[in-house]
Structure 1
Amino acid sequence: MKKMMTYLLVSVFAIIAIVLIIGLFLPKERTFTKTAVLNSDVSKVFNLVTDFKNQTTWRNDVKEIIVIDENTWTEVPKKGTAITFKVKQKVENEIFEIEIIEPNNFNGYWVGTFKQTKENQTAIEFKEVVIVSNPFFRTISYVFVDLDKTMDLYLQNLKQKLGE
């Protein structure tokens, strides 16, 4: 029994060490960018994206929005960890930039740029940068967090809300 416990303990430490070592070689920063042309006026798209209080009405991955103040809120997803955001920059119908302020094991930012290309047509670019300093959590994030898929779902929900 004692021998089995020793093997188990050594195995657990070995797995933790491997995850940590892998994390040391992974980049701290991950960047994801999505672009699209939407058949809606820029002000309609901008207002929808920046109205964080009502995103549960059109985003099917968000369970709840907890408003902290007029520029800070927590998104509670249906799956995963709650994330608190703060508005960094908001230029009407052009730029919306938010930063991740919680949880403490990672940080980063999201920037949406909006450009009216034709009447009732808006070009958008959404860029998300996530920085994970801790090598253990970095490995976990690469394995379990698919931000590319999350951004695809966000765009799909946005298009659906706009009737596209």
Structure 2
Amino acid sequence: MRWVSKKSTIGQAHRILFLLKFEEDFYEMKPREYMRYLLIGIGSLVGLGACILVIGFLLPIEVTASRTAELKASPAIVFQTVTDVEKQTSWRKDVKTVKAQPNRDSWTEETIDGVLIDFKVRRKEPPHRFEIEFVSNQGFSGSWVGIFTESPKGTIVQITETVKISNPIFRVISRAFNLTDKLVDAYLSQLKASVEN
């Protein structure tokens, strides 16, 4: 037999009475009172949206993330993996498809979320430097620079990504969740797994 304390039973009874009273008050609420609370709720949401918009306009349009890592593979292997864009779907988890142009200097990636991003090579110096620029159908653009330096253990990789975000709301979201930093971290992690296996 399970024993329930008197205090616990009284607490549950109070909660039930509170909910019943709330429900009773809600249904007895006059239309004018209901509209007042509704307008307060809508006004609060509009105010919050306006605050986010203002913050977004105040934030810089550009955000930059830079990371460095040492990979256990030669610069030639790392460079080949990074620049062979058509094979990126085999090791990048966030890329669904890649469609390269005949000139091999531009291509379009489709992410697993359905975002289309057009890329173009800006500078290519095998096996030490690779620079590209990109434009997305979601209103952001930017540049990506990869520098590959030989090290005793393999290759020092330095990646710098700069993103221009035109939408002020997206700027707030990007800063709040550190999206650019997380994307660069994920890229480096997946590149490391690919070249070291």
1:92 aligned residue? 126
Match of 1:37 among 70, 78, 95: 70
Question: 1:46–1:92: 8 Å Cα contact kept in structure 2?
Answer: yes
CA contact under 8 A between 1:117 and 1:123: conserved in structure 2? yes
User: Structure 1 residue 28 and structure 2 residue 50: aligned?
Assistant: no
Supply the AA of the counterpart residue of 2:113: K
**Structure 2 letter corresponding to 1:90:** K
The answer as to whether partners of 2:115 and 2:138 remain within 8 angstroms in 1 is no
Q: Letter of the aligned partner of 1:55 in structure 2?
A: Q
Structure 1: which 5+ residue stretches go unaligned? none
Q: Is the 8 A contact 1:86 1:101 kept in 2?
A: no
Give the distance between the partners of 2:120 and 2:172, measured in 1 at CA: 26
Instruction: Tell me the residue number matched to 1:141.
Output: 174
1:134 deviation in Å?
A: 3.3
Alignment of 1:79-158 (within 5 A): 79=113, 81-103=115-137, 105-118=139-152, 121-143=154-176, 146-158=179-191
Q: How far, CA to CA, are the matches of 1:95 and 1:56 in structure 2?
A: 22
**Alpha carbons 2:63, 2:180 under 8 Å: kept:** no
- DSSP 3-state at the match of 2:196: coil
Give 1:150's aligned amino acid: L
Alignment deviations for residues 113-153 of structure 1 (CA, whole Å, 9 cap, x no partner): 011234x6111100001112332331233245622222222
Q: Could you say which structure has the larger radius of gyration? A: 2
Q: Does 1:14 align with 2:14?
A: no
Distance 1:12 1:80 in 2: 29
Q: Given that residues 107 and 119 in structure 2 are in contact (C-alpha distance below 8 angstroms), is that contact kept between their aligned partners in structure 1?
A: yes
Percent identity, aligned pairs only, is 37
Which of the two has greater strand per residue?
Answer: 1
TM-score by length of structure 2 reads 0.72
TM-score (norm 1): 0.84
Change (3 A) 1:58 1:116: same
Partner SS state of residue 73, structure 2: coil
Instruction: Name the CA shift for 1:91/1:131 in 2 (closer, same or farther; >3 Å).
Output: same
In structure 1, give the amino acid aligned to 2:67: K
